[in-house]
Amino acid sequence: MNLLTLADLHLDFYLEDGVDPFEKVPEEQRHAVTHCVLAGDLSNKGHKRWARCLPWVAEQFPNAQIFALPRNHNY
């Protein structure tokens, strides 16, 4: 099992600026992740922006089961 835990990513800001926060992570390492825990604040206004952010994360880590936990900026 290869676990990746991310918190306070605020991915919506990266996507708005056209920036890939994982661009320096080699593709083979991205594909090796089997479980990804998004431990809060994936984006601001999660009820509106998770629909864009979650598929983007799933695309970056295609072999991972993703667990998303909300926190203060996600409501």
**Tell me, what's the pLDDT at 40?**
86
Domain ranges (residues) in the chain: 3-74
Rg (CA), the chain: 12
- Rounded to two decimals, the pTM is 0.84
SS3 32: helix
* Count of Cβ atoms closer than 10 Å to residue 11 Cβ: 23
**Tell me, what's the pLDDT at 75?**
63
SS3 19: coil
- pLDDT tens-digit map of 1-57: 999 999 999 999 999 999 999 999 999 999 999 999 999 888 887 777 888 899 999
**Tell me, what's the pLDDT at 47?**
74
**Tell me, what's the pLDDT at 60?**
96
Tokens of 9: 């990513």
